[in-house]
Chain A
């Protein structure tokens, strides 16, 4: 202390130190209190699981901040979309045409995936699930993206319960599976992307109909992709095979949505399953227009794209 400053500086310095003391005395207890409060919150949220007591709080904050995020995204969009500004003029008609095309393309991809080829015609006729991707799509745009620092890969879209959305609905875009809806507010919804490490999707290899589980790698990099583990260790997935979802119309993921193509296959002697790297069809770093699959004929505050491509 005495090393810097002579006698003249002493008075001032001591006063300064006093101030520092008085300023820092209060925070100690406050710091402990706030840290304990944080830990209490963490404990509450962890032990609560699916219906944690913080879910209402999330909802309230979402209701308040969702419209702000939508507004900010709308304000920012003209600048971020400068490259294709001249092409699209941000027109709603263009957007709808885009999604119509996406719906048709998705159906086309599924037909080509070998998934339908292998399925018995009668079985198709018997189950309601055969309406696979024929469900209606609610168009929406991504308005906010969670930071990588938060370690969960989630986005906010500008359609909520007023547009007919609910938890566990499947979200797609014109390339393939994007994710599923976690929770909704009136005007926004939070979507868990399939590349999130917490996300697990039932996947089916198109050519062999083998089933497995696709988990996210936690990276936005398209090449790092997703991990596929097949249930049957005897079957080896082939490179270039298409992976589609399997599931039920009531479950989180609708069946038959294309996820990606297999780029690498690893088989380990110790583990009882094959591991394949799946490159997703969707470019997650450039997500914009998405469609949420809703039951055909559901109520919505915006135009819904029906299974046959018509607008309602």
Chain B
């Protein structure tokens, strides 16, 4: 069962990445696209146990770091998505998260992940970008992620909760 869940999660991440780099640039606003990989990670963090979500966050980040158009220092998205997964997993799970909880978690995770990525760029001096430009990127990315939440999160959460033994069953 766990293996099946891993396969489903990895498939979702890869699909999200391909859609993110191949489809969404046509719809992008100033080149900013929704971070679908992040949405997959948040969906996992909200439904299944935290260790799985954390490792999935790391893996998804690593794929984002290494997949073709990427040319930044590898490991930056891995760091950002691991921390985003950790934050999202802190949301209470003893009750089913309401729609508002989900949207709020996505917004917080998106803000945290994009900011951490941007800050790591400033620290590493990877590409020099103005603070105003970074702020624009963070905010527009957040709006994009929240906009796509109703379409992406419910099916993914259903998938993950069906495939996994809930952490709460014990």
A interface residues with partner B (beta carbon < 8 Å): 15-17, 19-20, 23-24, 26-27, 30-31, 34-35, 37-42, 44-46, 52, 54, 57-58, 61-62, 65-66, 68-69, 72-73, 76, 80, 143-156, 182, 185, 188, 190, 192, 196-198, 218-221, 285
B21 near A144 with CB under 8 A, answer yes
**The residue from B20, B51, B124 contacting A42, defined by CB atoms under 8 A apart:** B124
**The residue from A35, A42, A156 contacting B82, defined by CB atoms under 8 A apart:** A35
A147 near B31 with CB under 8 A, answer yes
The 0/1 profile, CB within 8 Å of A marked 1, for residues 20-52 of chain B is: 111111101011110100000000000001110
Majority DSSP secondary structure for residues of A touching B: helix
Chain B residues with Cβ below 8 Å from A42 are 73-76, 79, 120, 124
Chain B residues with Cβ below 8 Å from A146 are 21, 69-71
A20 near B129 with CB under 8 A, answer no
A57 to B86: give the CA distance in the assembly, Å.
Answer: 26
A35 to B17: give the CA distance in the assembly, Å.
Answer: 22
The distance from the CB of B129 to the nearest CB of chain A, in whole angstroms, is 6
The distance from the CB of A251 to the nearest CB of chain B, in whole angstroms, is 19
A37 near B77 with CB under 8 A, answer no
The 0/1 profile, CB within 8 Å of A marked 1, for residues 149-170 of chain B is: 0000000000000000001100
Q: Which residue of A lies closest to B32 (CB)?
A: A148
B:86-130 near A, CB below 8 Å: 86, 89-90, 92-95, 114, 117-118, 120-121, 124, 126-129
Majority DSSP secondary structure for residues of B touching A: helix
**The residue from A23, A40, A73, A152 contacting B75, defined by CB atoms under 8 A apart:** A40
A145 near B69 with CB under 8 A, answer yes
**The residue from B25, B71, B120 contacting A145, defined by CB atoms under 8 A apart:** B25
The 0/1 profile, CB within 8 Å of A marked 1, for residues 119-149 of chain B is: 0110010111100010001000100000000
A43 to B22: give the CA distance in the assembly, Å.
Answer: 29
Residue B9 lies at the interface, judged by CB distance under 8 Å to chain A? no
A30 to B82: give the CA distance in the assembly, Å.
Answer: 10
A188 to B18: give the CA distance in the assembly, Å.
Answer: 14
Assuming the contacts A19-B168, A69-B22, asked whether A41 and B69 have C-beta atoms less than 8 A apart, the reply is no
Chain A residues with Cβ below 8 Å from B82 are 31, 34-35, 38
The distance from the CB of A233 to the nearest CB of chain B, in whole angstroms, is 23
B67 near A65 with CB under 8 A, answer yes
A34 to B23: give the CA distance in the assembly, Å.
Answer: 30
B93 near A19 with CB under 8 A, answer yes
Q: Which residue of B lies closest to A74 (CB)?
A: B22
Chain B residues with Cβ below 8 Å from A76 are 22-23, 26
Chain A residues with Cβ below 8 Å from B129 are 151, 197, 218
Chain A residues with Cβ below 8 Å from B114 are 149
A72 to B15: give the CA distance in the assembly, Å.
Answer: 10
A45 to B120: give the CA distance in the assembly, Å.
Answer: 13
